[in-house]
Each structure stands twice: as structure tokens, then as C-alpha cells.
Structure 1
Amino acid sequence: MAIETVQSIVLKEKIPEEFIRSQHEQPGITTVQGTVLEVPVIDLNDHDQEKVLNLIVDASQKWGMFQIVNHGIPFQVLSKLKEVGKEFFELPQEEKEVYAKPPESKGIEGYGTKLQKELQGKKTWNDHLFHKISPPSVINYRFWPKNPPSYREATEEYTKWLHGVAEKLLKSLSLGLGLEEDEVKKALGGENLIYLLKINHYPPCPRPELALGLADHTDMCAITILLPNEVQGLQASRDGHWYDVKYVTNALVVHIGDQMEILSNGKYRAVLHRVTVNKEKTRLSWPVFLEPAVDLEVGPHPKLVDQENPAKYKTKKYGDYAYCKLNKIPQ
């Protein structure tokens, strides 16, 4: 059965009612105009590594997000990843549907358009492809496109470089909590920490002021490392208002997710964000979510909890947390 994707709706040149957000969500009404949010930009290659550590910790506490430059991933690796992702979404619909999420699947891997329960039955202006890229034991190549032919090579090369960036971020976040540098990663599953890639595809939208590419949310993972294309669209909530995030070319955007907020017992905060769409241009982004295995229990780190600092969050299996989050069930 054919999937009705946002890409196919674009051809109709009219935005269906289910994509029109309520007035308290419409970006045309709720975006603060004329002000661009300049979230911290951190040079990972700065010779003063203590300064880098402090900047990461400060941004994670005050913003829940930051951008990293001089991260060490070669420009051509980023370009190739963008190229093959763009080519995939330009394929005929029937070719993309080969990778559709099976109807009976409880997982989220695969090509599709709907991810989570939406209140009031609203939809977001977004098609996507999900698949795991690390560790090797969790990879299911059934969801990796065979066309373009260089997709797998480009994605594996990016994954290899991304590991180094992720390791540095996790060590910094661990040290920032007063823990040993490997303790945060261990608490998230160590070498079993899962890297889940999502390619977001936001086609041009006839009425971008009425629709959202992604509704407001925090990421349920530990951290997200995101590579966007050149089309702006990321917004963050600050003091109860929505602002466009100023993107720096070739930077990676890092989001603190729910599991890191929980693990840090609230010292780090997950960022509330959303995505707007463009009337003329297609926006693409490549977030990689670093998440625990579904049966791993995550709660405030024992070393961060005492009589003066009681646990602010429940300890629960990540799979249970994710199920509640996706189905809008209170945690």
C-alpha cells in the first residue's frame, strides 16, 4: 500500500487542514521576528582544552544546545553524506517505499512520515528515514538504501568520524558533573550505546507560516549530533518564546536530550526545539541520536544523589521511557 508522504502532497500545491497548526503553534504568529538566537559556538580544536570543557558544560546547563566547529570531520565526508541523503529522497516514491517501516514493527527504523502520536491529529511537514549506524551488532541493512550505490560507504565513513566527536562530548559532559571521564558513557551502556541516524526531509511548503516540520519537543535520547543543510529552520524556545537559531556553516549542532538531563539529575537540560519549513527550498538534516539500549535502566547517576540532592527523576528502562514519550503518556 502506498504511503502518502509530504513529498507527494507538495505536488498538490495546497496545504491540507491536518498540517495547519493551531494559532499558539503557527510559526508565523509565534516566532520572534528580527531576532536570531546565537546559541554558543564552540571550537573543539581550541588549544585551551579546559576552556572547551567549560564552554560545553556551561552551554549544556544554560542552553541545552550548542554548535561545534573544527570538530575534525573532513568537509568532504559531510558533503558526501548530504549528497547521498538528498539523492535518496529524489528517488521515485516506489523505490523509497522499499525501505518503509513494516506495519507490524514496534521499532522506528525505516522510511515514513509519521513518528509519534500528535495531539489534535495534526501532522508535521516532514518525511524521514531512520536506521541504526552503530554498534555493528544492532545494524539492520534492510533499512539502508542501496540506491544511491555510495550511500552505505558515505554513511559508514561519517559514522567512523562521528565516534570521535561523540567520545569527546561524552567525556566533557562526564567531567562537568564531577565524574570520571568514562562514567556518563558507562551509565548509558558503554560500547552498547546506540547511534540512530535519522534523515529529515522537509519539502517546500506553500504556507510555511502555518505549518511545522517538527512540532516542539525535546529529544528522548542522551545527546543528538545534527548536521543540517544550508536551509535554515531550527528554532529553540528561550524564555517562553520561539527564535530562529543562527546556523554556522559546517558546524554540527548538539542537543542535550532527556536521558542526559535525567542522568545529570537536572544539571544539564534538554532543549525544547522545533523546525520550520521554507516556501521555496527543501530542508534536510541528519541528526544522530545517541541512546541507551531499550532494556537499559537510566536514572540520576548515584554519585549525584544524596540527602541534599535527592533524585529528581524516576529510574526506568529506556524502552519504557521512549514508549511513553512517543505515545504522549505521562512519565
Structure 2
Amino acid sequence: MEKLISNRSDLQSVPESYILPPGTRPGNVQVSIFESIPVIDFHQLGTDKAQLIKQITEAAKEFGFFQLINHGVPDNLLHNVMNVGKEFFELPSEDKASLYSEDARQSCRLYTSIDYVREHVHYWRDTLRHPCHPLEEHIDFWPQKPANYREVFGSYSVEVRKLSLCLLDLICEGLGLKSGFYEGELSQVQLMTTNYYPPCPDPSLTLGLPKHSDVNLITLLLQEQVHGLQVLKDKQWLAVEPVPNAFVVNIGHMLQIISNGKLSSAAHRVVTNNKVSRTTVTSFIHPSSTCHIEPAKALVMDFNPLYKAFIYKDFVSTYITDTQERVSPLERYKFQI
């Protein structure tokens, strides 16, 4: 528990173990504030579905990210889940201690940085992570404090899963795949994380999260009105402007592979600030660990897939190491042309 960065509020400077090498520090990199990721109105589902599919598909190809407004998840639920997530990290240490673990196999787990024991540099972030589908199999292992945590996060996880699967169906249509292609094993697992980024004495020296792309299928992130997320496009970091009650949606590696490279699992990172904390709640849709992954046959022309077939757990086993070593996890699964 003493490793949690949120428990070290007395820090006047960035500890040496959190300082990035000079060439990778965010203070050295220019960020564009004039261009950002597309904002898509989900209300079009009932008025102009074809246009909605076109916008989602184009954003997923060009940026790998978009923000979604008027998505149907109630505003009060969004506010409640964010407030409860923040309350969790404000609890006394003794109320969180039983959840802290450095064992990635623990189901409901509170931890800090990414892989504190093995990583060369730590990251300015604490995380609560747990599975949430099927809800009845996991909810009894979630935090009991705050008192309404299970009720609020249970309702939220159901709503955000429903929205994620709807988006996957729309992406199916945009790619020319059969409706329901991503059902079953391909979208079986849902993980929920609440990330807490405390104020940092010198944001130019460290990151909340390093440059990476998500391993999973699709990610829906709910964020406060605090800047932090940045997306890489054309070798330029774009600051993602927080939009009230919007979801930030991004494409994971599995969607890029299944789409045979038509969609982009864009790199992104999180910067810190020295004034206020930042909290996010993120839902990840994953395949089952034993799911067979390969480019969709309908998208492979003339038997020319870009990626080799594999079992999902095998990809995951090398993903963290590759990311930490700044190697694209996709490279080992690409066919050499």
C-alpha cells in the first residue's frame, strides 16, 4: 500500500524512479491543440444510421479514436460512477488494503503504475481493476466501500457493455461483415478499471501512462473535465479535449487484426498536471483467453491476410513486455511481405 502514488501526497518533487529518460519525457514533445479526435452524435442511430456508420468507420480508420455523445447512458449514472470511483481512492488506506495486490491474476485488484516490480520507470497512476461480465459471477468480489460501489458500477457495467456491443455491430456493417460477427467468444470478457492520477510536482518529467495501444477489441473511457489523454496521429500528439458526458472510444489491437488492417489501434498516452487529480473509468471488451483470432475471411482478398492466426492468451502474454520495450506487439504476428 505504501507504493500507491495516491498515498504520497507530501511529495514536493518527482521521485527518481518516476523520472523518464530525457528523450521520452512529455515536456520535450510538442502537442497539437488545434486538432483533435472526431466527436460523433450517436442520436443519428435513429435518424441517419448510414451516416453514423460512415462516421464511426472513418474515425476508426483515420484516428483509431472518437468521442461519442448522446449515447443513451443516463447522465446521472455517468456522474454517479465517476463520483464513486473518486470516493474509492479517497478512502482511508485500511479500507483499501485488502484489495492491493501485485499479483495480476487476482480478480479484483488495486495496484499502482503498470507492473511496479518489473518496470524500469514507474508511472503516475493508481488503478482499481476487476471483471464485470457476467455480473453475477464477479460482483461479490468488488469493493464493499463506498457502500454504493457495487450498485453503481453494476448498473454502469451493464449499460456500457450494451453500448460497446452496439458499436461493434455498427463497425461490422461498416466493414461489410455479417451482423453479430463479434458476439460470443470474441467479446466474452469485460474488464472495468478506475484510474486515479494525483497532481504531480513536475508533469514534464513523468507520465500517467506511456505510449501504448490497447490489446483488446474496443475500449470506452469516461473522463473528468480534466486534460490528460493524448492520441498519436501522423507522429503528432493530439490532446483530447474533454467533452461533458461523452465516451472516448478507441479501437484495440484485436479489431485492427480482425479488420485486416482496415481499422487502426492508435497509440495514446496520459500526461499529468500539477494542479488537480484526474479520474477515469474505463470499460474494456476482450475476447476469451482461448479465442482464436485472425483476420475476418470476408476481408481477406486473394488469400492475402496481413496477420497470422493466434490464440488470444498467447498475444496477451507478450503484449506487456513488447509495450514496455517500445516494440509494437503487432509486429510478431504480421506476415512479412
Fold conserved (TM > 0.5)?
yes
Change (3 A) 1:173 1:297: same
| Cα offsets for 1:213-245 (capped at 9, x unmatched) | 000000000000000011110001111122211
Is 1:185 aligned to 2:183, yes or no? Answer: yes
3-state SS of the aligned residue for 2:183? helix
Matches within 5 A, 1:277-292: 277-292=272-287
Is 1:69 aligned to 2:63, yes or no? Answer: no
Contact 1:131–1:140, Cα closer than 8 Å, also in 2:
no
In structure 2, give the amino acid aligned to 1:73: V
- 2:93 paired residue number: 93
Moved more, 15-24 or 288-297: 15-24
- 2:144 paired residue number: 146
| Cα offsets for 1:47-83 (capped at 9, x unmatched) | 1111001100110111100000000011100011011
Is 1:319 aligned to 2:313, yes or no? Answer: yes
Contact 1:293–1:318, Cα closer than 8 Å, also in 2:
yes
> 1:115 offset after TM fit, Å?
2.7
Please, what TM-score do these two structures have when normalized by structure 1? 0.92
* Alpha-carbon distance in structure 2 between the residues aligned to 1:21 and 1:3: 21
In structure 1, give the amino acid aligned to 2:269: R
Output the aligned Cα RMSD: 2.0
Is 1:220 aligned to 2:221, yes or no? Answer: no
Please, what TM-score do these two structures have when normalized by structure 2? 0.90
In structure 2, give the amino acid aligned to 1:52: L
3-state SS of the aligned residue for 1:327? helix
- 2:11 paired residue number: 12
Matches within 5 A, 1:1-331: 2-32=1-31, 35-46=33-44, 47-101=47-101, 103=103, 105-106=104-105, 109-116=108-115, 121-136=120-135, 139=138, 141-142=140-141, 144-186=142-184, 188-189=186-187, 193-307=188-302, 310-328=304-322, 331=332
Alignment length (residue pairs): 323
Contact 1:31–1:243, Cα closer than 8 Å, also in 2:
no
In structure 1, give the amino acid aligned to 2:145: N
> 1:121 offset after TM fit, Å?
0.4
In structure 2, give the amino acid aligned to 1:316: F
* Alpha-carbon distance in structure 2 between the residues aligned to 1:36 and 1:185: 38
* Alpha-carbon distance in structure 2 between the residues aligned to 1:25 and 1:218: 17
Change (3 A) 1:187 1:268: farther
3-state SS of the aligned residue for 2:201? coil
Change (3 A) 1:255 1:108: farther
* Alpha-carbon distance in structure 2 between the residues aligned to 1:53 and 1:285: 27
Contact 2:36–2:238, Cα closer than 8 Å, also in 1:
no
Change (3 A) 1:172 1:58: same
Change (3 A) 1:102 1:202: closer
3-state SS of the aligned residue for 1:274? strand
What runs of 5+ residues in structure 2 fail to find an aligned partner?
333-337
Change (3 A) 1:275 1:60: same
Change (3 A) 1:49 1:204: same
3-state SS of the aligned residue for 1:56? helix
What runs of 5+ residues in structure 1 fail to find an aligned partner?
none
